[in-house]
């Protein structure tokens, strides 16, 4: 029997749960996108009751080949909007407009920054926006999914935007062309170059907002200038300096300059991808060395002390440098080898050895005939090297698992490999030096240590860790994530670019949770690629910016709660490129 469910206007009720009761049985069936349900397996002429809520039931008699249309009023639910400012504070007493089903309403946020929309039809798309100069601004769309669900909306106090014009001149008022200028605006920092008339124009600057800028010059760091944007002012003048002739440069200003630090080993070879901890001018930062073993900081003051600490796989070193000039390079050495040998003892050992040798030599033997040398055959043991294979599967499901970390433990060493798409690793070993056991580990699964038999093919099973919730697919940036009820949750986001700066908002409510952010996908995260951590369990609202650098354009967020009843939400905003008009 084919049942068609429509509303009062004849529109199909799609994706709606319908309750059926017949012969003391009950079941729930969801309508298709056309509002259709196919009912079968019921005795002819059986009376069937159906309803959305128990108060409004409709009845019909079942016929196998029959068709019946049923009209229901769509169920309504309440939508709770959490409205926050860009900095994460609650946006109180702010007017937000909502549009759904050709209706437009406006509500004002309460003292906690919340708005509750009542009686919204289920599965309705609701558009939230603000209005400025009769134009819709800051538009976002939300899908009404379930009753009393929370939705996050970032609201801004809308300002008029315009183009801000600058001109760079020297002390005589002459234009300085082709000079680098650094700007700061709304927590963003970017650089651009003056044109042949010394001018720069920047789009989309909000009226009454502050813009900071300074001229960049090799060997100097000039002071910052602050301007509050007034659209009635045609042009803002930046006072700078023309480049001095070679050999006539002045001394550096006591301002921010650049400084490089190079990390090398005992052989003066650069050490790449190492974390260097820096403490200077009340700042504390971690930076990764590049392929040349270098890191650069560009906001240190001349005369400042920079404390440097390095820890690479347990090898540690530290140093302190004083910044004297712009763009200077300091080198720090990390001893990675065994330095216990005292090389000055080598000549003494050689002399003693020669003395002992000559004391035992019979000088007459030099004048005697040489004895015939007899070669002896040396019989070596035969060593057989064979191929071995280990396959890792998920317990109960018999599913092959890729990217499982396998640690093979030999008598005197440990060898690590990762399983391929078939869940397998292959390795060679001699018959007298087989691994005694191996450890299999994969995020989301319980670690397993297995004794290795002499069989050339071994299959091992690992079980899922039910305390972890790891999404199988990546999420797009800009989406809101809510607690699924697990104590530890991992989500990976695609950022649309490999490096940049993005905003993260979270609300941990009253039960505290810990949030950590990593460069890369879930299966690559470690302490080395962490880019933010709340360090401890926190609660409440917060919004801030994070710098990321991920070749695969992915970041991963881990939330650890107290227990399975914890509730939280967060939103990863997509990084945006600053628009500049030269």
Closest CA to 215 of 179, 252, 174, 253: 179
Residue where one domain finishes, among candidates 108, 131, 154 = 154
pLDDT at 38 (0 to 100): 92
Question: What's the rounded mean pLDDT across residues 95-113?
Answer: 88
Together in a domain, 220 and 166: yes
DSSP 366: G
Residue 364 pLDDT class (50, 70, 90 cuts): low
Higher pLDDT, 247 or 319: 319
Residue 251 lies in a domain: no
- 319: its two tokens: 């140093």
Residue 348 lies in a domain: no
Closest CA to 40 of 3, 4, 71: 3
Residue where one domain finishes, among candidates 462, 489, 520 = 462
Together in a domain, 228 and 146: no
Residue 426 pLDDT class (50, 70, 90 cuts): confident
Task: Tell me the pTM.
Answer: 0.36
Residue 350 lies in a domain: no
Question: What's the rounded mean pLDDT across residues 7-13?
Answer: 85
Residue 492 pLDDT class (50, 70, 90 cuts): very high
Residue 481 lies in a domain: yes
Question: What's the rounded mean pLDDT across residues 375-395?
Answer: 68
Together in a domain, 67 and 81: no
Which of 214-228, 360-374, 543-557 is most confident? Answer: 543-557
Sorted by sequence, the CB contacts under 8 Å of residue 558 that are 6+ apart come out as 488, 489, 490, 515, 516, 517, 518, 525
Together in a domain, 472 and 566: yes
Kindly list the distances between the CA atom of residue 457 and the CA atoms of 94, 176, 391, 393, 403, in Å, as whole numbers in the listed order: 67, 74, 8, 14, 19
pLDDT at 374 (0 to 100): 54
Together in a domain, 117 and 198: no
* Residues spanned by the domain of 497: 468-572
Question: What's the rounded mean pLDDT across residues 312-328?
Answer: 83
Residue 142 lies in a domain: yes
Residue 37 pLDDT class (50, 70, 90 cuts): very high
Together in a domain, 135 and 200: no
Residue 410 lies in a domain: yes
Together in a domain, 458 and 473: no
User: Residue 362 pLDDT more than 60?
Assistant: no
Render pLDDT for 184-224 as a digit per residue (tens, 0 to 9).
998 888 889 898 889 999 988 888 789 999 998 866 778 88
User: Residue 123 pLDDT more than 70?
Assistant: yes
Residue where one domain finishes, among candidates 429, 462, 495 = 462
Kindly list the distances between the CA atom of residue 59 and the CA atoms of 5, 20, 53, 425, 531, in Å, as whole numbers in the listed order: 13, 10, 14, 61, 60
Among 83-97, 108-122, 493-507, the minimum mean pLDDT is found in 83-97
Q: Give the domain CATH number at 455.
A: 2.60.40.1120
Number of domains within the chain: 6
Together in a domain, 137 and 209: no
Residue 372 lies in a domain: no
- Residue showing tokens 């440069």: 249
Together in a domain, 391 and 442: yes
User: Residue 52 pLDDT more than 80?
Assistant: yes
Together in a domain, 449 and 474: no
Phi, psi of 524 (to 5 degrees): -115, -5
Residue 354 lies in a domain: no
Together in a domain, 262 and 220: no
Which of 259-268, 440-449, 561-570 is most confident? Answer: 259-268
User: Residue 168 pLDDT more than 50?
Assistant: yes
> Mind giving me the DSSP string for 532-576?
EE--S-B-SEEEEEEEEE-TTSEEEEEEEESSTT---EEEEPPP-
Together in a domain, 111 and 142: yes
Closest CA to 202 of 580, 553, 551: 580
Among 214-218, 489-493, 499-503, the minimum mean pLDDT is found in 214-218
Q: Give the domain CATH number at 551.
A: 2.60.120.380
Cα distance between the two ends of the chain: 68
- Residue showing tokens 């379930």: 146
With pLDDT > 70 as the criterion, what percentage of the chain qualifies?
A: 84
């Amino acid at each position: 029997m084919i049942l068609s469910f429509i509303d009062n206007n004849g529109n199909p009720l799609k994706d709606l749960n319908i309750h059926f009761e017949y012969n003391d049985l009950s079941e729930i069936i969801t309508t298709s996108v056309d509002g259709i349900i196919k009912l079968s397996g019921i005795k002819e002429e059986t009376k069937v009751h159906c309803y959305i809520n128990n108060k409004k039931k409709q009845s019909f008699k079942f016929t196998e080949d029959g068709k019946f249309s049923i009209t229901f009023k769509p169920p309504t639910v309440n939508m709770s909007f959490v409205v926050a400012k860009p900095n994460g504070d609650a946006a109180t007493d702010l007017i937000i407009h909502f549009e759904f089903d050709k209706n437009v309403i406006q509500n004002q946020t309460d003292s906690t920054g919340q708005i509750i929309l009542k009686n919204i039809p289920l599965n309705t798309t609701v558009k939230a926006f603000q209005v400025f100069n009769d134009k819709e601004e800051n538009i976002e769309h939300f899908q009404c999914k379930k009753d009393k669900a929370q939705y996050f909306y970032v609201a801004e106090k809308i300002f008029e935007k315009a183009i801000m014009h600058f001109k760079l001149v020297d002390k005589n008022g002459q234009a300085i062309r082709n000079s680098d200028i650094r700007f700061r605006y709304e927590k963003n920092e970017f650089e651009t170059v003056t044109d042949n008339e010394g001018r720069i124009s920047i789009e989309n600057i909000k009226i009454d907002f502050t813009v900071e800028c300074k001229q960049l010059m090799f060997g100097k760091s000039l002071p910052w200038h602050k301007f509050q944007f007034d659209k009635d002012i045609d042009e803002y003048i930046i006072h700078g300096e023309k480049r001095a002739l070679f050999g006539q440069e002045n001394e550096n200003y006591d301002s921010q300059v650049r400084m490089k630090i190079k990390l090398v080993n005992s052989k003066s070879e650069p050490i790449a991808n190492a974390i260097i901890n820096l403490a200077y001018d009340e700042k504390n930062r971690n930076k990764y060395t590049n392929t040349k073993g270098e890191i650069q900081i560009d906001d240190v003051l001349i005369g400042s002390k920079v404390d440097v600490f390095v820890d690479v796989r347990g090898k540690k070193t530290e140093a302190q440098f004083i910044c004297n000039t712009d763009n200077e390079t300091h080198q720090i050495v990390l001893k990675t080898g065994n330095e216990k040998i005292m090389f000055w003892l080598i000549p003494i050992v050689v002399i003693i050895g020669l003395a002992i040798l000559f004391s035992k030599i019979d000088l007459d033997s030099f004048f005697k005939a040489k004895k015939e040398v007899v070669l002896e055959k040396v019989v070596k043991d035969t060593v057989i090297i064979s191929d071995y294979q280990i396959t890792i599967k998920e317990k109960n499901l018999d599913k092959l698992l890729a990217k499982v970390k396998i640690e093979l433990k030999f008598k005197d060493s440990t060898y690590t490999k990762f399983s391929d798409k078939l869940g397998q690793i292959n390795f060679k070993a001699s018959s007298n030096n087989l691994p005694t056991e191996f450890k299999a580990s994969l995020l989301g699964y319980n670690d397993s240590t297995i004794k290795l038999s002499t069989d050339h093919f071994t299959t091992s099973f690992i079980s899922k860790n039910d305390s972890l919730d790891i999404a199988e697919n990546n999420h797009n940036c800009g989406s809101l994530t809510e607690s699924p009820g697990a104590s530890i949750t991992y989500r990976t986001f695609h950022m649309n670019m490999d490096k940049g700066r993005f905003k993260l908002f979270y609300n941990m409510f009253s039960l505290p949770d810990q949030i950590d952010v990593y460069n890369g996908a879930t299966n690559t995260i470690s302490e080395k690629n962490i880019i933010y951590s709340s360090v401890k369990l926190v609660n409440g609202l917060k919004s801030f910016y994070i710098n990321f650098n991920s070749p695969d354009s992915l970041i991963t967020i881990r939330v650890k709660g107290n227990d399975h009843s914890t509730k939280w939400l967060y939103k990863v905003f997509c990084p945006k490129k600053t628009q500049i008009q030269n």
